[in-house]
Amino acid sequence: MPSFTAKASRLPGLLLAVALVGSAPLLTGYDAATGASNTTSAPPATPTVQRIVAQARDTAGSSAQGKFTRTITGNKQTFSGSLRIPLPNAALGLADAASAQNAEILLRTGRQGTAYAECALDFTGVGGKPRAAHYRLDLVKRRGTVQQKTGFCELSVAPVGPGLPQPQARDTLTLVHVAPDGERTFARGAFVKK
């Protein structure tokens, strides 16, 4: 086992040894005055962050703007996003804050023409200049458990049911307003690696 020993010049009586074991070095300290020693492993490497992002582009004259992101950091995954729809909005039939609050806004993800998840966005308020309705989606998955903080997603592939969508690069995103007279697709996008 390769090792290295050095005497610390600022702390007399302190001996520091570093031994490389596997990929995580062990740090051993010894205090000659007290006879105490302590062995700890080096801090783990910073987890790699993977990010997939989609910008929702208006397709129906609604001037809607949205951004949705899937992030993986260690054992934690998130799927989140925000959507802004200017008010009043003739293209979507949203006249004011009350109609925006009651609107059903869905996000659908697909891969090679096959849908695999549908998410309902939550209305979070009206504000800004120009005035706009704001919607959010915020899901977190840790150690296999999904927390649906804002909004809700339903998977249509195994496992079917509530869950966290797993978009990959080139997967599609479609935003839909569900109205009494039918559905209107008003924005589309594609996921890309960032």
Token pair 């934690």 is at which residue?
A: 76
The pLDDT score that the predictor gives to residue 112 is: 94
Q: Which residue has the tokens 């929702």?
A: 56
**pLDDT confidence of residue 11:** 44
pTM of the entire structure?
0.74
CA distance 60 to 185: 7
The pLDDT of residue 43 = 56
Average confidence (pLDDT) per 10 residues, the chain, 194 residues = 42 42 48 57 66 94 95 93 96 95 96 95 93 96 91 90 93 95 94 93
pLDDT at 17: 40
Rg of the chain, C-alpha, whole Å? 26
148 to 107, 112, 140, 151: CA distances (angstroms): 15, 26, 7, 6
Q: Which pLDDT score is estimated for 22?
A: 45
pLDDT at res. 5 = 41
With vertex at residue 189, the alpha carbon angle to CA 134 and CA 60, rounded to the nearest 5 degrees, is: 65
